Structure 1
Amino acid sequence: MAVLFATMATAVSAAETVPEPAGYRMEEYRAPVPGTLKGATVVTTDETIALWKDKSAVFVDVLPHDPKPANLPAGTIWKEKVRENIPGSIWLPNVGYGVINKETEAYFRKGLTSRLGDDMNRKVLFYCMENCWMSWNAAKRAVEWGYRSVLWYPFGTDGWVAAKQPTQRNEPY
């Protein structure tokens, strides 16, 4: 437990020294993240728990997911990775890369619309894991698309679990 809190304290101090880039993070997505995101609000674990308890935000998990390859040779064993995330979240994998194609952009927009409708003012919280640029990129993209209440939770499911909060198994949207 002390190791986990030390890790989170290190992440906070690293976030204070990582500058916010002007554009998207394009590589090394699992690395220390900045403590800011222009146009969005960075939230703590306690704030995230409060938002979840009062259901005042839509939670969006953007952890990448590798689907089963279509052309696996017969007899190949494929073990699907299990994703445990914050209950009630929509999982929109692979939308946090620095560059996304038109199909992924359409998927991302459709996923947001499925939960937010046309309400660009509704709170939407993006997360992934601790030190994951995927959620930073996804939140930045939402800000650029005109969403006005974008929240970013940089500790993701790691911070959530460390705070002894419940998780649930989820499937990609």
Structure 2
Amino acid sequence: MQWNRLVAAAVLIVAGTGFALAAGTVPEPDGYRTEAYRAPTPATLKGAKVITTDEAVELWKSKDAVFVDVLPHDPKPAELPAGTIWKEKIREDIPGSIWLPNVGYGVINKETEAYFRKGLKSRLGDDVNKKVIFYCMENCWMSWNAAKRAVEWGYTSVIWFPLGTDGWTAAKQATQRNEPY
């Protein structure tokens, strides 16, 4: 019976992440995650600091960092037939965050890269040393990818908050409605 549970756990780990060093761990890849974005994430990100919810709350209270939400967003399609009902998804995130949707994909085009850089510059100016926190939701590779990209662009105080809004709301912290930048 014990053996069957161990085998089942190993199968779930391998199926969900592609590979695992041990139960409950996901290795940090060399490149970007390009599929299955809603899956367990690594505990680390080279070149960035990984924080807990308590640390995120402290940084938010101190106003010592810029918070960047990277949850994807699907805008209303321009070619919808007349009379089609479109219900915009509402995003509640960490107050004061800039929402830069769709910048956390593993591969981004030049337009998305320019949008991402412009969004960061709007809050950080030319200060590549200012603390910048990337988040999305728990088990979401979008924030990991976005933070990794910022590290590669030369930002020196990149922080990744892997629990994102899930951790934030679980800690009973306030959220506010946000719109894409």
- Distance (whole Å) between structure 2 residues aligned to residue 120 and residue 17 of structure 1: 31
- What letter is aligned with 2:67? F
Give the gaps of 5 or more residues in structure 2.
1-21
Q: Counterparts in 2 of 1:1-173, with a 5 A limit? A: 17-173=25-181
Structure 2: distance between partners of 1:102 and 1:17: 33
Q: Please provide the CA RMSD for this pair.
A: 1.1
Deviation beyond 4 Å, 4+ runs, structure 1: none
Give the superposition deviation at 1:104. Answer: 0.1
Matched residue SS, 2:68: strand
- 1:153 shift after superposition: 0.2
Q: Distance in 2 between matches of 1:52 and 1:29?
A: 26
- Following superposition, the deviation at residue 16 of structure 1 comes to 5.4
Q: 1:55 to 1:85 in 2, by over 3 A?
A: same
- 2:158 and 2:123 mapped to 1: Cα distance? 14
Q: What 5-or-longer segments of structure 1 have no aligned partner?
A: 1-13
How many residues in Structure 1 have an aligned counterpart in Structure 2?
160
Q: Distance in 2 between matches of 1:131 and 1:20?
A: 14
CA distance in 1 between partners of 2:180 and 2:82 (Å): 25
Secondary structure of residue in 1 paired with 2:33: coil
Distance (Å, rounded) in 2 between the aligned partners of 1:74 and 1:98: 35
| Distance in 1 (alpha carbons) for counterparts of 2:46 and 2:101 | 23
CA distance in 1, matches of 2:167, 2:130: 24
Summarize deviations over 1:107-135 as a string: whole Å, max 9, x none: 00000000000000000000000000000
| Alpha-carbon separation, structure 1, partners of 2:43 and 2:136 | 15
Q: Residues 120-151 of structure 1, C-alpha deviation per residue, up to 9 Å, x if partnerless?
A: 00000000000000000000000000000000
1:17 aligned counterpart, secondary structure = coil
- Take 2:25 and 2:128, find their aligned partners in 1: how far apart are those partners? 31
Instruction: Name the SS of the counterpart of 2:112 in structure 1.
Output: helix
Give 1:15 deviation, angstroms. Answer: 9.4
Matched-pair contact (CA < 8 Å) for 1:59–1:125: yes
**TM-score w.r.t. structure 2 length?**
0.87
TM-score when normalising by structure 1: 0.91
